[in-house]
Amino acid sequence: MNGEEFVDKLHKENAYSHLPVIALSSTACSSSRQSFLYSIGFSEVICKPFQKEAFIQAIRKAVTQD
């Protein structure tokens, strides 16, 4: 199962549909790819290579979203 399939299944389950999901992508992240990942339900998108602080900020943002 890839990340796209996972987020789809997760959001279909009422018990888990509210959980934030962060994509950590090893592929090149164009703005259109990032927009797609947000559109299918990812809370945040982080592209490799990434900075530790950027990753921590994405987690903070994801867990504080309403």
Instruction: Report the CATH number at residue 59.
Output: 3.40.50.2300
What is the rounded CA–CA span in Å between residue 56 and residue 11? 23
Q: How many domains does the chain have?
A: 1
Q: What per-residue confidence (pLDDT) applies to 33?
A: 86
Q: What per-residue confidence (pLDDT) applies to 9?
A: 94
- Domain of residue 27 covers 3-64
C-beta separation of 25 from 35 below 8 A: no
Q: What per-residue confidence (pLDDT) applies to 28?
A: 63
Render each residue's pLDDT in the chain as its tens digit; 66 residues: 888 999 999 999 999 988 899 988 876 678 888 899 999 999 888 888 888 998 899 889 888 875
Q: What per-residue confidence (pLDDT) applies to 66?
A: 57
Q: What per-residue confidence (pLDDT) applies to 5?
A: 93
Q: For tokens 């990340």, what's the residue?
A: 3
